[in-house]
Structure 1
Amino acid sequence: MKPQEFRRTQDPVEAQSWLKEMEKSFKLAVVSEEKKVDYVSYFQKDEANYWWESARALEEEEVIIWGRFKKIFLNKYFLRNMQTQMQLKFFELKQEGMTVGEYEKEFTELARFVGNYMDTDEMRAKRFQQGLKPWLRSRVAAFELATYAN
C-alpha cells in the first residue's frame, strides 16, 4: 500500500493526520530511523516539496532526524494556536444534536489533541460522559464507567 502524497493543506488536522499515516507506513515499509525524513520527503509534492527544500536549507545539521522534521512540519502546518483551539473544542464538546455515534466520532477525533490532559482511560470515560445529553448522562452515570472503550 502506497502512502498518500502531501501537497499542501489549509487544514491543520489533515496535516497532522498525514504525519500519523506516514509513521504507520514506516513500520510496514521497515524504514530505518536514519531514512525516515528521506522517505517522507519523497511523498511531499509541489508546494510542500518546495517548502521542505527551503526549510531544509535553513537547518544547520546535515542529517535531520524524524523528531526535528515533525517539529518543523507542525510549525508550518499545525500552528500552536490551532492546537489550543482544538483542545478547547474538545473540552467544550457536547452531544447536543448529534447521535451518540456522531458524538463519539467527534470526541475521538478531538481527543488526540489533548494528550496529557486525558492520560487515563477513566478520565476519558468521565469526559465523554460529561458531554452526553443530560437524560443520557444520568443513565450512564449509574454504571460508574471507569474505562472508555471507543
Structure 2
Amino acid sequence: MGKAFTLDVVSEEKKVDYVSYFLKDEANYWCESARALEGEEVITWGRFKKIFLDKYFPRYMQTQMELKFFELKQEGMTVGEYEKKFTELDRFVGDYVDTDEKRAKRFQQGLKPWLRSRVAAFVMTTYAEVVQKAMVIEG
C-alpha cells in the first residue's frame, strides 16, 4: 500500500481507511478489533504500521530475516541469483546498507572468494557497478 500512496496523494488521515478496505478475513477482523481498542482516537498511519507489523511480522521473524541477510554468501549461486536473494533480504537490515556504497561493499563481501578478489581489483563505489563487474567476471 505504501507504493500505492506514492502514486496517489492520500492524506495521512485516510491511509488507514484505504488499507483497512483491502484487508480480508482474519486481517480484517484484527483491524476492526485494533480500531476498537484504540477507542475514539484516530489511528495514525505510523501507529497502524507498527501494530500491523507487530502482529504479522513480529520481532523474532525480523531477527531471522536479518540473520539470513548477514549469513548470505554467493556459494553455489550465480551472481544473478545471489543478487536477487541479496535484494530480497537487504530491506530487513535498513541502516546496515542504507547507502549505495555500504550496499555495494556488503554485496562484494558475500561473493565467492575467487570472484571477490577479482572484483576488489577495481575501484567501484556503487552497487550497480559491483554487480555488473561481478557478472562480467563470472561470465
User: Do they fold alike, i.e. is TM over 0.5?
Assistant: yes
Would you say 1:62 and 2:25 are equivalent positions? Answer: no
- Per the TM alignment, residue 46 of structure 1 is displaced from its structure 2 partner at its CA by 1.1
- Higher share in helix: 2
The structure 1 segments of at least 4 consecutive aligned residues displaced by more than 6 Å after TM superposition are: none
Provide the C-alpha distance between the structure 2 equivalents of 1:123 and 1:29, rounded to a whole number of angstroms.
32
Provide the C-alpha distance between the structure 1 equivalents of 2:114 and 2:127, rounded to a whole number of angstroms.
19
Query: Corresponding residue for 2:86?
Result: 107
- Per the TM alignment, residue 48 of structure 1 is displaced from its structure 2 partner at its CA by 0.8
Structure 2 gap ranges (5+): 132-139
Q: In structure 2, do the counterparts of structure 1 residues 119 and 61 end up closer, same or farther at CA, with 3 Å as the change threshold?
A: farther
Of structures 1 and 2, the one scoring higher in RCO (CA 8 A, sep 6+) is: 1
Q: 2:30 aligns with which of 7, 28, 51?
A: 51
Q: How many residues align?
A: 129
> After superposition, what is the alpha-carbon deviation per residue over 1:17-67, rounded to whole angstroms, capped at 9, x for unaligned?
xxxxx0111132321111000000000011110111111111145211100
Give the letter aligned to residue 51 of structure 2: I
For 2:127, what is the secondary structure of its paired residue? Answer: coil
Provide the C-alpha distance between the structure 2 equivalents of 1:29 and 1:140, rounded to a whole number of angstroms.
41
- Per the TM alignment, residue 119 of structure 1 is displaced from its structure 2 partner at its CA by 2.1
Query: Corresponding residue for 1:133?
Result: 112
TM-score by length of 1: 0.81
The answer to whether the Cα contact below 8 Å between 1:126 and 1:145 also exists between their aligned partners in 2 is no
Structure number with larger C-alpha Rg: 2
**RMSD over aligned Cα atoms:** 1.3
Map of 1:1-150 to 2, 5 A cutoff? Answer: 22-149=1-128
